[in-house]
Structure 1
């Protein structure tokens, strides 16, 4: 089968089209013939060698297509071996494309439970873009963050898959959403999705500017921090507010003043990806609410995965970048 393979770690050009063996049959697993796959920042980290993926390797976590055995239209849930607990994944958990061949290929093999019925009303590109950011954001907002209708939410960032999905899900549940970005056109695009407004997070006073957009300037009930700006995120909170952390692109370490934290009655909550139960919750949410489909920035042919990665790393995209497998 055709696939995109990396034989070394490095910059986007290490991603090259190649012929590789089709996945073998094994008990409890199914093969999905993929029509599209979506990029995630996680794929960049895999390409760079952050997860020590075996070489040669086919990356990719997200995909949409049909089960070969049943011809059922499915999306791929990339959360493998989560385990039986809801609080956190088990020790065997991993993301598809880390150590098992991923979705930058014509075929992918996944545990049967991870081939999930494709939601109604989504194009193939939109369906491929849904699983990783969808289940990650649903868990962050609702399973972990406990977001409720009428609450205020601050989303750090405005243009990535998590940010755009967070705006869509949160506004559908009746929350008031503010975003941050260094580019006004991205804030305007987030407003088109349902965000109330946004602030420039490159400004020195952006925390104060964000708080000023909350009722009475009291701060946010929930902050979604996918970049690692903890100190500023906590300062954005209203008393008793929650900060959900799910990324570290901007910083690998954080320092917090302790006394203001506990006097503020704040919560700092870590999360990543999501379980089968989170995915089921997301699909029920999509059935029960009017939610905008995943935002697609651009599509590339599978063979141009390296170019797609260059666009992802340049930070120019608004929404998801998708590979088509025609």
Structure 2
């Protein structure tokens, strides 16, 4: 099979042996995969002295074969990959055995993947193959941050700095589906326009005075994945007693903020990452009920994953980047 790998310090498209299912495993012939920012970090995290690892956390395809002991799944089933490995029930934090698909395990940027049958879910019928292939990681991250950790309620207002990421596009749609008001920010006029089209109620320019712009608004919840560049500014627009959820740091991962203001304001500061299978199933039901579809910026064939990675690295995309593998 063809696979896109990182090997001995190089990205490459490589011929690799077709995988075989062991007990409790299935082989999925992948049609599409999704690129995520974590894929960009693999060289720094893996080093330059190791054999090939297939990158990619998201994917969708058709079950090709199943190993001994697999029940309820058959050849020909259309499925999506759940990249949150070994985290099945919603819990306060992931279990010790939790990991994310796509390093150290071989991931989804390949014509086939062998994976535990516990890590696949039926493909949503209302989604195309490209939409299904970019779904799980960003949607799970956004849903857990918004619903499980952020405890969003209908009628509340959520503030999301950085409107163009894949997670942000899910956050906007999930929040609106749950009856909330959504305010986003972006430097890009085009991203602000697209955020409003996706469902946001307001879209602020990153450089403007957020406190002045939001005079009269009550922000109940902030979901921030930017980090140092927006952290303190986001706190400045949050109501006293409000909730602040962070799940990423695309800028510096260290921040300074005023502890006295924080504890006098009675704020809740919450960390979040990925999500459990239970939360994935909950969000899939919400997407089906509300007709929510992933926002796709662009798609590339497997032979052009490096071009897709350049686009993601430049942060000019709005929504997800899909990788076409076979038959799409």
Provide the TM-score with structure 1 as the length reference: 0.92
Counterparts of 1:110 and 1:243, CA distance in 2: 35
How far apart are residue 289 of structure 1 and its match? Answer: 2.4
Deviations 1:104-151 (A, max 9, x none): 100112221111111121000000111111111111110111111111
The root-mean-square deviation of aligned C-alpha atoms, in Å, is 1.6
Alignment partner of 1:189 out of 169, 191, 194 = 194
User: 2-side partners of 1:187 and 1:32: how far apart?
Assistant: 38
Q: Does 1:21 align with 2:17?
A: yes
Q: Would you identify which runs of 4 or more consecutive aligned residues in structure 1 move more than 4 Å? A: 51-54
Shift of 1:297: 0.8
1:137-167 deviation digits (Å, cap 9, x = unpaired): 1111101111111110111111110011111
Q: Which residue of 2 aligns with 1:50?
A: 45
Aligned 1:99-118 pairs, distance under 5 A: 99-118=104-123
Question: Contact 1:37 / 1:104 at 8 angstroms: preserved in 2?
Answer: yes
> 1:251-277 CA distances to partner (integer Å, 9 max, x unpaired)?
210112111111211111100000011
Quote the Cα distance in structure 2 between the aligned partners of 1:56 and 1:84.
32
**1:74 and 1:117 in contact (8 A); partners too:** yes
Aligned partners of 1:178 and 1:210 also within 8 Å: no
Q: Deviations over 1:234-288 (max 9, x none)?
A: 2221111111100011121011211111121111110000001111111121233
Partner residue in 2 for 1:309: 309
Tell me, yes or no, if the aligned pair for 1:242 and 1:267 is still in contact at 8 Å: yes
Give 1:278's aligned residue. 279
- Matched with 1:68 is 64
**2:251 is paired with a residue of what secondary structure?**
coil
Which 5+ residue runs of structure 1 have no aligned equivalent?
none
Q: What is the Cα deviation at residue 210 of structure 1?
A: 4.9
Closer, same or farther in 2 for the Cα pair 1:126/1:85, shift >3 Å? closer
Unaligned residue ranges in structure 2 (runs of 5+)? 66-73
Is the 2:156–2:181 Cα contact (8 Å) retained in structure 1?
A: yes
